[in-house]
Amino acid sequence: MSVVETVLERVPGPLRSLLLKHRELLKFAVVGGTTFLVDNGVWYLLKFTVLMDKPTTAKAIAILVATIVSYVLNREWSFRTRGGRETGHEATLFFVISGVAVAVNLVPLLISRYVLHLQRPEVSLFVQETADFISGSVIGMLLAMVFRFWGFRKWVFPDELGGIRRETLARR
């Protein structure tokens, strides 16, 4: 029995049917939570070590690392019954959509730092870090996640190609 099925067994009936209906979204959210941890772990590691004066660069690198993790997890778990394109083509589309999502993710952090000037010396270190987290890791990531889910379903893992992928999985 899969992890998702084990969790769903413990959920009350009406909510279970809703979650089953949106199983793909639920899996995507779990992958998003995992990549959230990867993204923030890498961001803070870089931001407080080698890229202290370049938080936006550190965030961009963190997003790229998390995107690679996201591709593997989404392809093999969230959207495993969708798609069916040749892997190179699928990966290219995934990284193009994710590249646009990187820009979407960075916009709130850029606005926070360079338009609202929520950075030192204008504000305290605590305010700067709180603003960075809210703009870069909450607002930016949520906006990018919505964009990615829509883009992945529409172009990277379209359901109309899912038959090809389902047949391949059935042969294993």
Q: Domain residues of the chain, as ranges? A: 3-156
Instruction: Give DSSP secondary structure letters for the chain.
Output: --HHHHHHHTS-HHHHHHHHHTHHHHHHHHHHHHHHHHHHHHHHHHHTTTTTT-HHHHHHHHHHHHHHHHHHHIIIIITTTS--S-HHHHHHHHHHHHHHHHHHHHHHHHIIIIIS--STTTS-HHHHHHHHIIIIIIIHHHHHHHHHHHHIIIIIS-GGGHHHHHHHHHH-
Q: What is the pLDDT of residue 161?
A: 64
Give me the percent of the chain exceeding a pLDDT of 70.
91
Confidence of residue 103 (pLDDT cuts 50, 70, 90): very high
Q: What is the pLDDT of residue 163?
A: 62
Quick count: other Cβ atoms within 10 Å of Cβ 96? 13
d(CA 162, CA 37) in angstroms, rounded, equals 30
Q: What is the pLDDT of residue 31?
A: 93
- pLDDT tens, 129-169? 999 999 998 999 899 989 999 999 999 988 876 665 556 65
Q: What is the pLDDT of residue 73?
A: 94
- pLDDT tens, 66-100? 989 999 999 988 888 887 788 899 999 999 999 89
Instruction: Please state the rounded mean pLDDT for residues 34-60.
Output: 93
Q: What is the pLDDT of residue 171?
A: 65
Rank 21-25, 43-47, 74-78 by mean pLDDT and report only the highest.
43-47
d(CA 38, CA 80) in angstroms, rounded, equals 22
Inter-helix orientation angle 55-73/87-110, to 10°: 150
Q: Is the pTM of this model over 0.85?
A: no
